[in-house]
Chain A
Amino acid sequence: MTEHPPEPFVPSTRFAVPGRIVASNRAAATWQPARLVEVRRETARASTFRFAVPGWTGHLPGQHLMVRLTAADGYVAQRHYSIASPPADSGHVELTLDHVEGGEVSGWFHRVARPGDTVEVRGPLSGFFAWPGDRPALLLGAGSGVVPLMSMVRDRRLRGTDVPLRLLVSARTPEELIYADEYRDETTPVFTRVAPPGARPGRLSAAHLEPYLARPPAEGWEAYVCGSNGFAEHASRLLVALGQPVDRIRVERFG
């Protein structure tokens, strides 16, 4: 018998990405109706879907939710999607979805869905990629990996906070850059295939990151990386090579 509960097991290596917030188990467990109220085209492949979710309990930038579609015979398909909208968008959430070739769920959204349709959602889910807005944030995203990072950018703007935040967003071409009209001086776009006149296309490199990592804010950066596995591996290795501590790099990979 022990008088005190046993100490939690602590591995000898500090885990890279301790959860920052406690996710609400109740919200995560409950499926609720989400009514599509607006569809906005972002690029040739990506659109933003805006939902009214009256029972939404709120989220932190960087969290995701699960969407469920149900066929008439009871078959269900469900996917995790990052939330694009800021928490202050009360009662509404926005998702920006790529149209995946042959995608069962994204195909329905891009080909069938129209305002007035209802799907089901549960969430917000997972606290590890959330940005509560307390620490300086260095955000690296590629393709639709920018979606959870945009929730952070929008939240910071709405709250008017001066916590440092930098976004480096990689896209193949200017036409494929999601949210292109919304970026301000916090953002550096990186074009890998076709760049605007006067710029050279190329992959995200140490030269893009050095200015921020050579002179980090006093409390250091919290780095958030989101994109394909190839991008996530590349970007996180660049960060480590430039001295960003591994336990302050959070990685969200598509899949």
Chain B
Amino acid sequence: MADVLVVDDLDVTFQLHNSEVKAVSDLDFALAEGETLAVVGESGSGKSQAFLSIMGLLAKNGKGSGRAMLGDTNLIGLSPGELDRYRGKDIAMIFQDPMTSLNPALRIRTQLGEVLVRHQGYDRERANRAVIEMLERVGIPEPVKRASAYPHELSGGMRQRVMIAMALLCRPKVLIADEPTTALDVTVQAQMLDLFKTLTNDFGTALVLITHDLGVVAGVADRMMVMYGGRCIEKGPTDTLFYDPRHPYTLGLLHSTPNVDKRAARLDPIQGLPPSLEHLPRGCAFHPRCAFRFDRCFEERPPLLPVEDVREKACWYQGELNYEEVA
């Protein structure tokens, strides 16, 4: 399958008062047509900032550099005006908080219809029909009535459905979903993930699922990318990472997630705190929290290297990862 989005050497830096913070360093990945990639990491791991920079939505003091090729176009470094030709059309984004991500002063149909008017040249009426059709498709009851509603008249789950409908109106090649289920009830989360799966399948849209919730990843993602301290530290097919993690951090993440099969008496959090991006540790950024560290980890940062055919990791430790040893 052809790659729809190829990211190469992506850096994101933020200018602070008199220092510079690198939120994302040397990020590489390719996203194939229709594929689902999960990007996993703690808060501050740079997972959101990487994709905000691709969308041109970084805060004013943030700057992306490198390449994010959407077809033949490098999205990094485009002016907002040039980006507007692709944003919402070929590449769309859904945000974490559906309660605040819709404009409270505008009707649902206005907020959705304008995407089609802008990118597809529809007139209002045609856009309205398409909007109602899409609302029905994302499972909103009484779509005609809801189209005229304001956001505050809808529940959180409904609003996230509206956001999904909005992002998919132009059948984009890439959909980036930044923690799309975090703000929702657990019962609604599962429905929402089903919806993502069905719709991206139907439209052939590649999905990037940014999350810290491994439970979300398991059922949905084809591949998985684990980020720590602004870098990708392990990458590969979801199943292999789940059943056979090779990076101590991935292992730690998996063990700190509730699992029905294991019935552990307690969950094991990863000891310590995620690093501050301003003062990343020397060597491997994870070494202060790592049970498998040895002298090399303190001095040299491990590069991201292929482990087997399909996976990569950034870790010096090459031996067996035995969890019992850690716990």
Q: Do A and B come from one complex?
A: no
Which B residues form the contact surface with A (CB < 8 A)? none
